[in-house]
Structure 1
Amino acid sequence: MIGLKDDFYIEELICNESFQQYCLGISLEDQILWSEWIETIPHRKADFEEAKKIVNILNVKQGSRLIQIKELKEGIKNRNAFAEKIELNKEVKLNPKPSYLKYTIGVAAAVLAVLFLYFYLNPYSKDKADNDISEIFSSGKSVRKTIVLSDGTVITLAKESTIKLDKSFDTGKRELWLTGEAFFDVKHDATHPFIVHTSFNDVSVLGTTFNVKAYPNSKITETSLIHGSVRVDSKTNPGHFVVLKPNQKVISSNQPERVDVSANKEYQVSSLQNDTLTKQPVETKWIRSRLDIDDLPLSVIAQKLQNWYGIEVKIEDDEVKDYRYSGTFENETIVKTLEALQLSYPFKFEIKNNKITIKK
């Protein structure tokens, strides 16, 4: 008998003796039992496989597997008393008695459990491996930094924010990892969803405009949707998600503890708040530039855009530099600002290697 519900925690699965037998291939009965059970809850299959992997990693070529898993189980039960055990250990004098050896093994099991709980259950430790990353972009101390990806997606990073691209991004796997805050204007591609991974949530889109705020030292993660549709999936509670509509935002708590709550309780969804003067969402105020120009040459405007958006803007033709514009522009990204300017006085621009080149 399995004795677990479909909302099991991975650590519960690892410490289940029947599951251990299944992983170690000891019991044919357990093999059949667990294989049939996981087929009834396909949404937990990834967690099921992860638990199998951990059991095998912890026990490869390390003596009796069952004994070590039992030690892990005991360590998890006593992890709250771990600090006290360490203090007691300081008072024990070294001697060859078997009782001391037994005690040391117990503490080692507790250490193993604590390390497991920290490195596996803490979402911040589960970052993308370096060999799976193709490029890393960081804003550093700059107020804003604009990145234009190979698929045409425009990303503006806030201060002290970083994105890491999947190594297969250019071939269609549009996934990246965000630390900090960024504004996304995603190029539509129905066959290749765009996924933003953060420590506690995954944001999936096809083509849309949204803002994600996920600083590692913050107690919350915010996702604000301007246009389109996004789905926010929880990492701490697999299977829980919320789908946002335009002008909505969702706030989730950055708590590594796995809490058995419904998606509605885990996520707080509300409408975006508009600034009383600009009537624009407060959540994206940091990215918006109100560009008031009065008969200014494009060379001056380009410098203003470069300073605001944090991306190099170069004008190749002298004639284009002297194009003059007047008006007020409020746009989410530098690309949309340039497109608005094009309507008044045509010019061409291209983006390559995160540099914008303007020409006649």
Structure 2
Amino acid sequence: MKRLKSVIAVGSAVVSLGMGVAYAQEVTVKLGFAGPLTGENANLGKDVERGARMAVDDLNANPPVIGGKKVRIELDVEDDAGDPRQATQVAQRLVDAGVKGVVGHFNSGATIPASKIYYDAHIPEISQSSTNPKYTLQGFDTTFRLVANDGQLGSVLGRYAVQKWNARSVAVIDDRTAYGEGIAEEFVKSATAAGAKVVSRQYTNDKATDFHGILTEVKGTNPDVVFYGGMDAQGGPMIKQMQQLGMTAKFMGGDGICTGELPSLAGASLSGRQVICAEAGGITPEYVAGMDNFRKRFKEKYGQDVVIYAPYAYDAIMILVDAMKRAGSSDPAKYLAYLKKTDYKGVIGETRFDSKGDLQNATLTLYTFNDGKRESLGVQH
């Protein structure tokens, strides 16, 4: 009996020691996420947060091995409310928290000032949605994006207005944010180069709800197309108020209005009006099944449909971890070089970065709206 107890005791000690070794080998890697979880763009910010959390959950269900050790990913989530000043405060908190990489921010106006904080700390940042070209033109080797930029979006939309809609006159409104101004200016360049004339240039802000004054000014110029540089929270009410004023102009905007929620924001006034928008990404045929599966899993997990950029946030998390795995380290100083050489096939397609951190061969998708739903007009390059 004593011999049996001794064997059991030794066995228990070995098991305990083995568990201790296994526990010691487990490592937690903290990643940061920042976006507008409150404010006018909260629906969009929460969408990308869910995409990022879904990626973390998928990774932790089958822990990745980095440098020979199993890793658990922890996500540190911060709300920047889409505000540039708050974004820099959030960025500093994430740096102080010791994150090894950041997904976000959402709005270009928040992403650009925050990127300097991450650059100074040498922490990679992947924005899943910021389109202003300035973001990757600052000379920071830590900035990356997963979508086409405003130059590409505005160029395609400007040409479409003139070549497909035969627009000869356009009115342009923007919300004075880095995003809104950027895409509006790119649209103006493209549309005027294609032969259109800008007959009205108006400005609002990203918290406005009443556009009757500027729309009355616009109506007086009788434009063929009204282009809005801003988000769906203003784009929807703007379409409603165009209807109230009896305006018949076609309506156009970038990815900020190109959401599944625009029909509910615009209401019945969306019916019968030609509306075109562009999403700063595009799923080529070979990735459609994977995207459909992602959307299904997302709906099952959260009880809500993807709004727009959740799949991009999902891939951003995966791309950061993929670079760490290839580098054998979660140390930004070691894995950044591998991040620059990314060749990753994910939900949104194949991701490869150019020397600035922009996508090589970026795509975008044009959409219109029919019967209260977004309808794709095809992927553009």
The verdict on a shared fold, with TM-score over 0.5 as the criterion, is no
Which has the larger Rg? Answer: 1
Higher strand share: 1
Query: Which protein has greater RCO, CA pairs closer than 8 Å, 6+ apart?
Result: 2
